[in-house]
Amino acid sequence: MRGFEKLQELKDNMMKPIYEKRRHLGCELCGHTFYDYYKKTGLYGVPNGEESPHPTRKGMIIVHTYDDVFYPRCSKCWCDGTVRDAKTATAIYEKQAEKDRKKAERKAKKDAEPVKISRKLTYANKQAYYDRIDYLAANPNEMTKYEIMSSYFMDKVFWKRFGAGCYELECRHFTIKKHLWDGTYMSNSGKTRMGRFTPYFEVTNNQTGKVREVGTESVKRAIERETRFGKNRRNDPERNWGLPKNG
């Protein structure tokens, strides 16, 4: 027997008690605890192309300071790299669960608050707001005058009914046309479109012929921002490096 083979046999005999001991393990992702053994090799790949925590065993987490000793997969969710000793895994899982619970509570509290679109246009909560948009997208004749006079709300209805772009909608004796003010521009490299389109609406009363524009204030504010700061990025000296213009 060669010297290398003797050393390998000696190493295997030293590591044998580590592999043969049944251990209480847990998954930090799903919270499941189970009994299993440490593994000799890493057999599972790392998802999403992430780098392996161990340089020679792709997809496996090395156990403590032992080389070639790895945690197994979770016996419930079959995830790689989420198993630890039961105490550590349970603590990590409970901490994350508490964070998720608090986050859900904050979201529920926020969703329960009234949604105020304008001074005369308020909805009981976020769900009522979304339900109203869905309903009006299918039944535009039910829109109130306050909803018609809100460019922000009308934009949501048009998006729900038509999607992106400029469209025309008949609502009782009104004809509503959506327009978009183009506030976009190309980046310095010419590869990316920057800025955004600002919607405004033309509402025509078909009985009286009166035409009213809704949302022009938003367009004016967008134009003022463009006039003050310019469209360019920070690397153009002719536009004062993107800083506000003096005077």
Where residue 246 falls among pLDDT bands split at 50, 70, 90?
low
Residue 233: pLDDT over 70: no
Q: How far apart are CA 213 and CA 217, in angstroms?
A: 10
- Tens digit of pLDDT for each residue in 54-104? 444 555 566 765 667 888 888 898 887 788 899 999 999 999 999 999 999
Tell me the three state secondary structure of residue 115.
strand
Question: pLDDT tens-digit profile of 100-153?
Answer: 999 999 999 999 999 999 888 999 999 999 999 999 999 999 999 999 999 999
Kindly report, residue by residue over 12-53, the tens digit of the pLDDT: 788 888 888 999 999 999 999 999 998 876 544 444 334 444
Tell me how far apart the alpha carbons of residues 180 and 163 are, in angstroms, rounded to a whole number. 13
Q: What is d(CA 198, CA 151) in angstroms, rounded to the nearest whole number? A: 10
In degrees to the nearest 10, what's the CA dihedral of 86, 89, 90, 91? 120
